Structure 1
Amino acid sequence: MSEERADGAPIEVLEQYFEARGWPCERSGEGEIVGSASGSWAQYEFRGVWRPEDQVLQFLAFPDIKVAVEKRGAIHESLSLINEQLWLGHFEMWSGSGLIVFRHSTVLDTRDGEGLTLDQAEAISEAALEECERFYPVFQFVLWGGKSPGEAIAAALIDTHGEA
């Protein structure tokens, strides 16, 4: 990889990582990339947004879950319980659309030539995918399974051992 980096370098590195994984992606602007990845539960849209003025890379993952108004209270409670379990990033529900999103931001100082590495791109992307996969069932249990947020978390976080 070139030693010289422009302000768009974090997006370029994400693009390289997405392409190496075989995830379809496209640039949607100078400092933005959109990609998608298949998981066990859903197709996830990933979005990287680089803000050079703040030196912040925001990474978003959308698990294709839209919450109806009547279920938003239960989902807010679920989000609180889920976010207690996370070490990186958080889930939220956008108030206007009811979309669930996983969001993580990273401060990068590209002025010193460091920028985002492929290892960091992998860590950010894989963490988002893993957390979406781990907690997707919680949302489904609450939205469609009639479970309370506490029951949904307990059911989704059961550790399995061995093979079925």
Structure 2
Amino acid sequence: MTTLSTGHSEITVSNPVDMAEELAGANDWAVERHSDHELTMFISGQYTEMQFRVFWREDFKTLQFACLFDLRVPEGRQSDIYQVIGLINERMWIGHFEYWSEEEVLLFRHASLANDPLLGGIGEDHMVTMIETALGECERFYPVFQFVMWGGQTPAEAIESAMLECAGCA
């Protein structure tokens, strides 16, 4: 699991995108701010570079994350990718993976509602947990996609190979 630095004892901002930008700065991630309600963070993962996009919908009080990784689906492997996404998503508790065929983009996406006035919106702990969750799921399942696309494994074989739990220590 990825643990983020906040750089502050407490971040207090009303726009969650501002908070995400501060967290990116505290973790030395490059940021491209598109608007008051959207930004992209560029994060180096264990396996690949990720574009981590944050979207705030004020009208719905919803914060959405989309984590795209640099992984192209080879010609003829789209049906296997859809199958492995289905098998992976069955295991997901929060968020889901998608493949956008027109853009040829594989991504993890999830959202959080912030419309409970008693909770006061998206706080720092909430933001950190959402980002850590998305990064953790991308890191956990990236090898599965690699095994299917480049390792010649079936979706079931890839999940079994990548999801082995090690016991003990070497």
* TM-score (normalizing by structure 1): 0.90
Q: Shift of the alpha carbon at 1:162?
A: 4.0
Question: Deviations 1:10-66 (Å, cap 9, x if unpaired)?
Answer: 101111112222222121112001102111111111000111111111101012112
Q: Shift of the alpha carbon at 1:156?
A: 0.4
Q: Larger helix proportion, structure 1 or 2? A: 1
The answer to whether residue 162 in structure 2 is matched with residue 156 in structure 1 is yes
The answer to whether residue 134 in structure 2 is matched with residue 128 in structure 1 is yes
Q: Shift of the alpha carbon at 1:112?
A: 7.2
Find the counterpart in structure 2 of residue 39 from structure 1: 45
State the distance in 2 between where 1:46 and 1:4 align.
20
Find the counterpart in structure 2 of residue 65 from structure 1: 71
State the distance in 1 between where 2:70 and 2:19 align.
25
Structure 1 pair 3–122 and aligned structure 2 pair: CA distance change class (3 A): closer
Q: In the alignment, is the contact (CA less than 8 A) between 2:11 and 2:124 conserved in 1?
A: no
**Matched residue type, 1:56:** T
Aligned with 2:113 (options 107, 110, 121)? 107
State the distance in 1 between where 2:78 and 2:133 align.
25
State the distance in 2 between where 1:21 and 1:59 align.
17
**Matched residue type, 2:131:** S
Q: Which blocks of at least 5 consecutive residues in structure 2 are unaligned?
A: 1-9
Q: In the alignment, is the contact (CA less than 8 A) between 2:55 and 2:63 conserved in 1?
A: yes
State the distance in 2 between where 1:111 and 1:29 align.
25
Find the counterpart in structure 2 of residue 13 from structure 1: 19
Aligned with 1:84 (options 77, 85, 90)? 90
State the distance in 2 between where 1:19 and 1:163 align.
36
Find the counterpart in structure 1 of residue 60 from structure 2: 54
Q: In the alignment, is the contact (CA less than 8 A) between 2:11 and 2:19 conserved in 1?
A: no
How many residue pairs get aligned? The number is: 161
State the distance in 1 between where 2:105 and 2:122 align.
28
Find the counterpart in structure 1 of residue 5 from structure 2: none
**Matched residue type, 2:60:** D
User: RMSD of the alignment, in Å?
Assistant: 2.0
Question: Deviations 1:66-114 (Å, cap 9, x if unpaired)?
Answer: 2234111000000001111111100000121221010001111287782
State the distance in 2 between where 1:126 and 1:93 align.
21
State the distance in 1 between where 2:116 and 2:13 align.
10
SS at match of 2:151: coil
Find the counterpart in structure 1 of residue 99 from structure 2: 93
